[in-house]
Structures are given as C-alpha cells and as structure tokens.
C-alpha cells in the first residue's frame, strides 16, 4: 500500500445510541494492489542484477513532493508496483524505470483489457520508459452501470541484455480509490454529456460510517464512499434534530448516477448531498406524528445549513421539491395559532398536504475545487 495510506477496516457494529462523532468514525479507505500474487506485484528476479527492481512514476506520485496531505499522494516520486497510484486519459503519462539504472533495458507494455486503452508507445529502450495510455469513449465505461468499474492495468515486460540476457514481467493496477477517481476523468472528457465536477482527491474516499451508505453504492464491496462534505452535513443535521436519522441517498459515482438517470452534475456525485428521513418514517408517514417528525427534520436541516456551510435544503417527494428551497413553512402566530402543537398553523392545509406526501429532506453543498484534475 502507498506510504501514508491505511487499509479499509471492517467497521464495528452500529449502536443505536451512537449518534455523534460521525466525522471521527471516518478512516481513509484503500484497497491496494497488494492483493495481487507476489509474482505479479514485483517478485524477485533470479537472473537480474542484485537488488534489481522496477519503480513507477505518475503526476500523482510527483505531487506528493509539494502536497503532504495524508493519504492523498505518495511520499516518494518513484514507488513499487503495489504502491503506484495513477489515472489515464487526457495525455496523462506513466513512467517505469529500472533500479539500478540499466541503459540496455528493452520495454514492452501491454494493456490488461481494452478498457485500459492503448499504450503509446508500447515499446522502447533505456533505463526509463514513458508511455501515454490513449483512450476513447468506446474503450472506457461511460454508459452508466450499477456495478463497479474494472481497474486499469498494464503488464510491463523488461528485457535485460547486458551480460546474461533475462526477461522480467510484472503488473500494475489501479486500487479502488483510483478506480473511483478514474470515473470522474472519464465523464469529464469522454461522456456524451460531459460533467464539470473535479477529479476527487484520494483522501476524500473514506470508509462508509454506516451500512446505509452502502445501499445503491457501486463500490459497496469495498465499503467506501466519496465525501466532500455530506458526512459533516449529516452530523450537523443530527445535532440539530437531536436524534439519528435514516439516510435514503448519499454518494453516487458517475456510473451509478448515469444508470439511475441523475443530472450530470448532481451534488450527490461529489459526495456533497444527503437525502434523509426521520427514523421509522415509513410507518408514520402521512400521520400527525409523521408530519411533525419530517417538519422538525426539515427545520433542523435549515439550521444546520447555516452552521455547516450548506448550499440548499429541500423538502422533497422523490425528485420533486415541495417547498421553495431554503424556506420554512409558514410559522404560527397570534392570528394563525398552532393549537394542536404540530408546528404548523392550524388552518394551513397546504403545508399539511406537503408534509403528508414528503419522502425526505435533502441537504447539499457546493462542489469543491474545479478544473480538469484534483
């Protein structure tokens, strides 16, 4: 695994009384290529010079020299196969070298699957070799899917001709963080309807703090989500509401978003939106108890938006907004009292109708960053 990265642990069982410290539960996720057999991830080469190994470089291993944020980049520029982090497309370059340097090295790079594009060039000679994976929309999955994407990978073969000739082969593959990040590159550059969401940082891909976040999640088997603020919004809402809520919808990767007909730049895609409902809301929806609960949650979200940097709060039925965003339902007053203590004016049949059919409360924030890269 990359220096500074941490493995994805299995989360402890949820406890109903644990309603706080959502942010403290977050542990950075990583499903590294270390699961590959040793023969594929850099086993010793019996006929190679003493100490011989291959090392790799990308813009993301280089970026760690300036940005020291934990779990975002690697600490070293040149790393072994099992620690290599990379994305492809838009002329991103990948480089491999021999260590120690061997000028007679002859290289060949083969893609592992057509989705890995076409290495250009795919052959070369020298102590270092750089290739650019050329990819097209027909090679990359941009049509929508409810399954995880395959990792981009390459088989690298080096032939050493100095002294006794020998050939050595190993493989590099994206880990789950880069598989997810690659989707954003693909949808920015190759999709028919391109998105403008930035490529997320690796450290924004974290362990899902609750089982609910794994529902409708293409990467549920890895137990990860992308978070650019949705977990902090949820924590703020629950603090205002005073109890735990049910998460109906959270992060959607671009492939999932396309598959379910989401808008191209949905805030759910960058991990900045949550749809939520009161606990046990399915059994009380449409009753006075249900109306009171969803109203209290909606008002809690309006308050949390101000304290947690939110952008929009909506009362919704499915995808339809029932109330103008960021506005409260009419409050009781002397002329319009609330004698039944449900939080509404007693004569406000319009608000009662909205609360009877509301399915959830939505809260989101603006997407972070921008540009072609993370």
Closest to 203 in 3D by CA, of 230, 226, 231: 226
Residue entry with tokens 């409902």:
277
Q: Buried b vs exposed e over 274-311: b needs ≥16 C-beta within 10 Å?
A: bbbbbbebeebbeeeebbbbbbbbbbbbbbbbeebebb
Question: What is this structure's pTM?
Answer: 0.86
Q: Can you give the pLDDT at residue 50?
A: 85
What pLDDT is attached to residue 44? 64
Tell me the DSSP string of 3-15. TT----PPPPPP-
How many residues in total does the chain contain?
Answer: 374
Cα–Cα separations (whole angstroms), residue 160 to 123, 124, 133, 291, 358: 14, 12, 24, 74, 68
Q: What is the pLDDT of residue 46?
A: 76
Greatest CA separation for the chain: 97
* Local confidence band at 300 (pLDDT 50, 70, 90 cut-offs): very high
The predicted pLDDT at position 28 comes to 40
SS (H, E, C) 203-228: HHEEECCCHHHHCCCCCHHHCEEECC
The string of pLDDT tens digits covering residues 45-76 is 777 888 899 999 999 999 999 999 999 999 99
Q: Is the pLDDT of residue 336 over 90?
A: yes
Distance CA 207, CA 217 (A): 13
Q: What structural domains does the chain harbor?
A: 33-174 (2.60.40), 202-364 (3.30.1380)
């Amino acid at each position: 695994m990359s220096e500074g990265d941490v493995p994805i642990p299995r989360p402890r069982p949820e406890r109903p009384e644990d309603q706080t410290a959502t942010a403290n539960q977050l542990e950075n996720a990583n499903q590294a290529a270390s699961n590959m057999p040793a023969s594929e991830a850099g086993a010793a080469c019996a006929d190679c010079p003493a100490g011989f190994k291959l090392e790799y470089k990308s813009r993301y291993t280089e970026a760690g020299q300036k940005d020291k944020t934990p779990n975002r980049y690697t600490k070293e520029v040149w790393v072994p196969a099992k620690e290599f982090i990379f994305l492809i497309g838009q002329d991103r370059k990948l480089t491999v070298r021999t260590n120690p340097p061997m000028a007679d090295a002859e290289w060949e790079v083969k893609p592992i699957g057509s989705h890995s594009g076409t290495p250009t060039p795919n052959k070369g000679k020298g102590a270092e070799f750089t290739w650019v994976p050329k990819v097209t929309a027909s090679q990359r999955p941009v049509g929508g899917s409810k399954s995880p994407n395959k990792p981009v990978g390459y088989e690298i073969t080096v032939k050493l001709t100095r002294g006794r000739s020998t050939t050595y082969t190993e493989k590099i593959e994206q880990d789950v963080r880069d598989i997810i990040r690659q989707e954003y590159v693909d949808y920015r550059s190759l999709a028919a309807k391109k998105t403008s969401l930035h490529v997320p940082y690796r450290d924004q891909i974290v362990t899902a703090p609750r089982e609910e976040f794994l529902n409708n999640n293409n990467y549920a088997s890895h137990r990860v989500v992308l978070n650019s603020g949705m977990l902090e919004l949820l924590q703020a809402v629950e603090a205002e509401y005073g109890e735990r809520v049910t998460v109906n919808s959270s992060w959607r990767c671009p492939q999932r978003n396309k598959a379910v007909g989401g808008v191209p730049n949905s805030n759910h895609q960058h991990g900045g939106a949550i749809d939520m409902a009161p606990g046990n809301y399915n059994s009380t929806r449409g009753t006075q108890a249900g109306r009171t609960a969803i109203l209290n949650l909606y008002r809690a979200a309006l308050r949390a938006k101000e304290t947690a940097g939110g952008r929009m709060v909506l009362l919704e039925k499915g995808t339809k907004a029932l109330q103008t965003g960021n506005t409260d339902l009419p409050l009781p007053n002397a002329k319009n009292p609330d004698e039944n203590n449900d939080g509404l004016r007693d004569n406000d049949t319009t608000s009662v109708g909205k609360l009877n059919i509301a399915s959830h409360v939505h809260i989101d924030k603006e997407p972070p960053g921008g540009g072609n890269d993370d």
